[in-house]
Each structure stands twice: as structure tokens, then as C-alpha cells.
Amino acid sequence: MSSSIQRQWTETLPDPLPANPLIIAAQWLAQARADVAQPNPNAMVLATVDGRGYPSARVVLCKEIDTLPGCIVFYTNYRSRKGRELEANRRAAVVFHWDNRRRQVRAEGQVEMLSDAENDDYFRTRPWQSRLGAWASEQSQPVESRQALAVAVTATARRFGIPYEGPGTAEPDDVAVDVPRPPHWGGYRLCADAVELWVEGEFRIHDRALWTRTLTGRPGAGRDAPWSVTRLQP
Ligand SMILES: Cc1cc2nc3c(=O)[nH]c(=O)nc-3n(C[C@H](O)[C@H](O)[C@H](O)COP(=O)(O)O)c2cc1C
């Protein structure tokens, strides 16, 4: 990349640094959506740790950045590998990267499961195909073949009375059947106690700032705790 192009992108973090980093993170997410530069601007890497202390990471979609109290929401199968790891260790970390904007957001904290009512509300907004998939797929478990998975989808459709023969076959136009949420499918709220905002700088002199706060006690407690912020060397 020529240095003239690179200069166009020289951005720094606001000065003075704001009290709540998640307000900027939410603005950056909104801008990434508006850019339409990547198919999933709300994709973030989620890192978890298993009972042995071994880390693992995968992409999930962020459904909400709740700036006050400062939580990040995503949905998954509670019995998946990440679900089992989060049960053993509630600490998790996420990273967003918007390459076209030269921006990164890192957040760390403890997760809590969303309530049944919150999970039901969100599940209802999903297309029926995704709702069937949530029943048909035992996420992260071995499967014999693609065909076995297709059979599972077809069987699930039948179980709910949906006239659908599975992937690759015609989909009914209108599905009136309400496919309920599987009890093992739902969301997590990562309540952040550390957030780092990063913007690319010229000649690798990036701008970074780290916000931290102490969240203690039962889930949800102290979520209004104030943040302290420090600029970091790149
Ligand atoms: C762009 C993208 C978005 C994804 N969104 C989700 C998601 O929101 N929830 C989810 O459970 N898996 C999502 N996945 C799949 C995960 O990366 C992963 O394969 C799956 O959750 C199983 O991970 P686990 O075995 O570590 O639990 C997404 C993958 C990609 C590439």
C-alpha cells in the first residue's frame, strides 16, 4: 500500500478518552454495518478456555452491544464446545476487527446466560430454517456424513409438521408452524471488565487504549462500575 493511501486512514482515539469504551465500540459496529464492506460486520472471535486451561476460539455474531451496563450479547448452542467451556469457566474474550476501517475492539469479562424469556424473544425472530437447524444440529458433536445431517433436518421438519424434505429440496413459501426454542439454545451476555480500542497508525504507531473496571459478586452486580483508562504503547 502506498504511504499516501495509508495516510487517508490515519485515525486516533478521541482525546480526551471517553469514560465508557463501549459507546465507541457500538458506534464502530454501526459504522461497519453502514459501510457494507463485509458480509458479517458483527462477526467477532470468541475465545473460551476449557477445564484444563486450554484456549479455543471461533467466530460468532454479536447481536448487541449494550453500552450501559457494558455487555456484549451472542447466541449459540449451550451444549456446543464453547457452551461446555463457558460452563466450566465463565471468563471469555472477544475481538472485532474491521479491516477496512483499520479498527479493532477487544473485550474480556465474564459471561452469564440470558433468561428464557430473552432467548425465546430472540429465537422467534429467526427464520424457520434456522429454528429447525437449532433442533437438528447437535453443535460440535461428530456426524457421520452430510447426508446424516440432511436426514436430521428432514426428520425435524416432519416432527414440527413442516412440509420440507431437507437441504436441496423446495422450501415451502409460508411456514405457519411455530418452531419453539430448544432448551439448549440461547444467548450469553459477556459483561466486560476490560475493553481495548485500537486504531491503526502510520508506520505501526497505532493508537491503543485499555479501559478496566472491577465487576464482583453475582451476575449482573456492579455493572454500573466506573471504568479507568490508560493509553498503551502500540
Ligand atoms: C461469520 C460466522 C458467524 C458465525 N456465527 C455464529 C453464531 O452466532 N453462533 C454460533 O454458535 N456459531 C457461529 N458460527 C460458527 C462458529 O464459528 C463455530 O463453528 C460453532 O459455533 C461451533 O463452535 P464450538 O465447537 O467451538 O462451540 C459462525 C461462523 C462464522 C464464520
Query: Using one digit for the tens of pLDDT, what is the confidence trace for 172-219?
Result: 777 777 899 999 999 999 999 999 999 999 888 999 999 999 987 565
pLDDT of residue 56: 98
pLDDT of residue 182: 98
Q: pLDDT band at 9, cuts 50/70/90?
A: low
Pocket lining: 139 vs ligand 1, CB cutoff 6 Å: yes
Determine, yes or no, domain membership for 163.
Answer: no
Higher pLDDT, 172 or 110: 110
pLDDT band at residue 166 using 50, 70 and 90 as cut-offs: confident
Residue 100 lies in a domain: yes
In a domain, 166, yes or no: no
- The pLDDT of 149-156, averaged and rounded, is 94
- Residues 62-70, mean pLDDT to the nearest whole number: 95
Is residue 172 in some structural domain?
Answer: no
Per-residue pLDDT at 4 exceeds 50: no
Q: Give me the domain span that covers residue 192.
A: 3-121+185-232
Which residue out of 42, 48, 60, 149 has the highest number of ligand 1 atoms within 8 Å of its CB and is therefore the one to mutate? 60
Count structural domains, the chain: 1
Distances (CA, A) of 107 to 12, 27, 166: 19, 15, 38
CB of 75 closer than 6 angstroms to any ligand 1 atom: yes
Question: Can you give the pLDDT at residue 221?
Answer: 60
Confirm whether 9 is domain-assigned: yes
Best residue among 56, 58, 131, 149 to mutate for probing ligand 1, ranked by most atoms within 8 Å of CB: 58
Look up the CATH number of the domain holding residue 75.
2.30.110.10
pTM to 2 decimal places:
0.93
Q: Is residue 142 part of a domain?
A: no
pLDDT of residue 163: 85
Please give the residue that has the higher pLDDT: either 155 or 223: 155
Which amino acid, 70? G
Q: Is residue 153 part of a domain?
A: no
